[in-house]
């Protein structure tokens, strides 16, 4: 197999605008099919993006023998259901974040996925495929900032559109599910460990009934992480990483533009340094890394266990807010 043949479940904005065009630039991926609940919509997007096949239902796409792997960018409440259906149809699955609505649901997916050891499955935390994040982890491992002690993250935007999937509680809306999940994923990635206990404070939109502001502390065995995520706040994203002997700042940490170089700032006892990275598209890299794992039958970069662990922290934060105190993970 030279290239993995991809099918896309739905005409989701993230798929049409970012992920499909990026994967079409990849060396290991070919997008061959797209499905929508509305056949006309599927045709229209297929024409626009030069995709060979358009299906009027997700089921039809899963029946196709010409699709090896499925990208699942459905609303959050459909992630587990359709990822399981895709596995049952013999397809590898790249599923959007957050992997599930709850830790229990994520575990159900893991349980199902283990029945198909020949199929790969991964949560689409695209940021992890950017060389900049690999460098941050490398710097920490090499002791460039001494001992890692705390990670501070912030991710926000303003969107109170009641029709948006992010503002519907039954679809797994809210800031923690949409973007706070990155602020949990990042310190877990950098500490290479899991938090032992968490505490969170949330604000719920009285009309939309979704959580629109979360601030949290995650306690790790060797340090801590703090973050704020919000969906009705001015747009901002940043991550700062502090060690006993230095710090790393990552501007536009989660979705930097692919058109221009990205940087990170390192400051330690030996001075200050700006480290620059060639322009690259993290969605292209994500697709290629996943496809390569299929082609080589090797491990995916991030196993499903990681997605389940991230979901566990989200659940613990919800519990903390409800109970009003620290919750063990």
Contacts to ligand NAP by CB under 6 A = 10-14, 36-38, 41, 73-76, 78, 96-97, 124, 126, 165, 178, 255
Q: Which is nearer to ligand NAP, 227 or 242 (CB)?
A: 227
The nearest distance, CB 131 to ligand NAP, in angstroms, is 17
The nearest distance, CB 72 to ligand NAP, in angstroms, is 8
The nearest distance, CB 293 to ligand NAP, in angstroms, is 18
Name the region of 275 (left: φ>0; alpha: ψ -120 to 50; beta: rest): beta
Q: How far is CA 178 from CA 82, 182, 184, 327, in A?
A: 19, 8, 11, 21
- How far apart are alpha carbons 121 and 110 in whole angstroms? 9
The nearest distance, CB 141 to ligand NAP, in angstroms, is 26
Q: Which is nearer to ligand NAP, 173 or 246 (CB)?
A: 173
Q: Which is nearer to ligand NAP, 19 or 87 (CB)?
A: 19
Q: Which is nearer to ligand NAP, 239 or 266 (CB)?
A: 239
Q: Which is nearer to ligand NAP, 69 or 327 (CB)?
A: 69
The nearest distance, CB 221 to ligand NAP, in angstroms, is 29
Q: Which is nearer to ligand NAP, 36 or 150 (CB)?
A: 36
The nearest distance, CB 179 to ligand NAP, in angstroms, is 9
The nearest distance, CB 11 to ligand NAP, in angstroms, is 4
- How far apart are alpha carbons 114 and 260 in whole angstroms? 40
Q: Which is nearer to ligand NAP, 9 or 148 (CB)?
A: 9
CB-CB contact of 35 with 42 (8 Å): yes
């Amino acid at each position: 197999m030279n290239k993995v043949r991809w099918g896309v479940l739905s005409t989701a904005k993230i798929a049409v605008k970012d992920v499909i065009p990026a994967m079409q630039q990849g060396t290991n991926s070919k997008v061959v099919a797209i499905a929508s609940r509305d056949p006309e919509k599927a045709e229209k997007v297929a024409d626009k993006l030069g995709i060979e096949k358009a299906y009027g239902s997700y089921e039809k796409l899963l029946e196709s023998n010409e699709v090896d792997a499925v990208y699942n960018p459905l609303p959050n409440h459909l992630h587990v259901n359709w990822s399981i259906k895709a596995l049952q149809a013999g397809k590898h699955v790249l599923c959007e974040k957050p992997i599930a609505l709850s830790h229990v649901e994520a575990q159900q997916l893991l349980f199902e996925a283990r029945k198909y050891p020949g199929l790969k499955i991964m949560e689409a935390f695209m940021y992890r495929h950017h060389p900049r994040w690999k460098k941050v982890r490398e710097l920490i491992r090499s002791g460039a900032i001494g001992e890692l002690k705390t990670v501070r993250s912030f991710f926000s935007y303003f969107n109170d559109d009641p029709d948006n999937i992010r503002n519907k509680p039954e679809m797994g809306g809210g800031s923690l599910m949409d973007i706070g999940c990155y602020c949990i994923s990042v310190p877990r990635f950098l500490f290479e460990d899991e938090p032992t206990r968490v505490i969170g404070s949330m604000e719920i939109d009285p009309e939309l009934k979704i959580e629109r502001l979360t601030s949290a502390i995650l306690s790790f065995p060797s340090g801590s992480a703090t973050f704020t995520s919000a969906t009705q706040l001015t747009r901002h994203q940043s991550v700062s990483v502090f060690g006993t002997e230095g710090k790393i700042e990552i501007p536009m940490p989660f979705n930097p533009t692919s058109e221009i170089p990205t940087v990170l700032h390192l400051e330690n006892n030996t001075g200050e340094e700006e480290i620059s990275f060639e322009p690259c598209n993290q969605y292209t890299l994500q697709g290629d890394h996943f496809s390569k794992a299929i082609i080589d039958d090797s491990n995916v970069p991030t196993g499903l266990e990681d997605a389940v662990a991230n979901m566990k922290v989200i659940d613990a934060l919800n519990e903390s807010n409800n109970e009003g105190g620290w919750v063990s993970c």
